[in-house]
Structure 1
């Protein structure tokens, strides 16, 4: 009975770890599909929905798949933490979850903007003005801010607990620190930023599975 429960728990952990990796890679795909350097500029992200072709649909699908997979994989980030900094790690995961939900929100906005563009109810030049509404700006700020704040808290938790390779929290800090520079770095910069996040999360997922697997 105990062995069966252990096997089930190990299988669930492996599934969650896989979702974490799939989710970050899906976000990497979404970043590579977006031709505009974004930073925190929501209008630059959503302009792809008004361009001809199916790039917007692939980007929306990647964002949706990435957000669902990441939500299923976020519990994996807590596995390496047993005692030290566990509360901080839980706060990081909770904050990240809000930001991850924002990814699905961006996917919905892409579909919504495309529908308005197809009906000629919204033109490209009016998109930045449409996003100047205070409530829209606040929601977008909370989504983006929560994601990067969660990454920052996770980096601090890893530094305190020392449960991952020393380079992992450094990479996470670089991801957060690069946020103001993404717009200047262009398309390559945003792809590299998300790739760094994917590498760090993959290392954490691998360490979590190894730690939970009996020797």
Structure 2
């Protein structure tokens, strides 16, 4: 018998993915130190809105993650659990990044930070370790989830494939146009939408789907 929290958790998973996509499109783009300062100063409201959306996305994704585990009751349990743990690390990092955005905005508004200050912060070892660990956790977790879903066979095959494809796009982000690079987040949304639909379908999570 399905527990009542599963549809609620699945809905939060999809809501979190949509919020993450919205934040990615909303955050202003900037090339270089001077441009970053200008963006934060002149588009501060948009910057803070993106930070708030990122934080909400992290909360919703965290609350939605338990529903994903319902797809691993028969196969790939260990890999599914590992993927969930690594993904959660990425979600926590997303919330941390949102807080950093707010903190950075406050430094710019109070004129505490200048051009050279941004460069110094950008090369600060602790911050770089956090950012790389956050990004790696998010994408590695997503890759592991895609592999686990392929092994579990509890969702249509296109679901894990779009998750793996989204991870692959990080190697193309430097050559893709800016709007197209941001649009790749929709692959994550599509994958999580497939998971949310499947986990709430009657008895869909109990039996492997046909090849």
Q: TM-score range by the shorter chain?
A: 0.7 to 0.9
- Give the corresponding residue for 1:3: none
| Number of positions where the alignment pairs a residue of Structure 1 with one of Structure 2 | 202
1:198 to 179, 186, 189: 189
TM-score for the superposition, normalised by structure 2: 0.87
Does residue 185 in structure 1 map to residue 176 in structure 2? yes
**1:37 touches 1:184 (CA, 8 Å); kept in 2?**
no
Kindly report structure 1 stretches of 4+ aligned residues shifted beyond 3 Å: 46-49, 211-214
1:22 to 15, 21, 40: 15
Evaluate the alpha carbon distance shift between residue 83 and residue 213 of structure 1 in structure 2; reply closer, same or farther with a 3 A threshold.
closer
- Give the corresponding residue for 2:42: 52
**1:63 touches 1:104 (CA, 8 Å); kept in 2?**
yes
Matched residues in 1 for 2:115 and 2:105: separation? 11
**Aligned ranges 1:60-139 → 2 under 5 Å:** 60-124=51-115, 126-139=117-130
| Deviation of the 1:57 alpha carbon | 1.2
RMSD across aligned positions (CA): 2.4
Task: Show structure 2 runs of 5+ residues with no match.
Answer: 206-211
Evaluate the alpha carbon distance shift between residue 146 and residue 211 of structure 1 in structure 2; reply closer, same or farther with a 3 A threshold.
farther
Task: Show structure 1 runs of 5+ residues with no match.
Answer: 1-5
Evaluate the alpha carbon distance shift between residue 213 and residue 174 of structure 1 in structure 2; reply closer, same or farther with a 3 A threshold.
closer
Does residue 162 in structure 1 map to residue 153 in structure 2? yes
| Deviation of the 1:37 alpha carbon | 7.9
1:136-182 CA-partner distances (Å, limit 9, x unpaired): 11111111100000000011111111111111111111111111222
**Aligned ranges 1:138-157 → 2 under 5 Å:** 138-157=129-148
Structure possessing the higher relative contact order (Cα contacts under 8 Å, 6 or more residues apart) = 1
Evaluate the alpha carbon distance shift between residue 47 and residue 181 of structure 1 in structure 2; reply closer, same or farther with a 3 A threshold.
farther
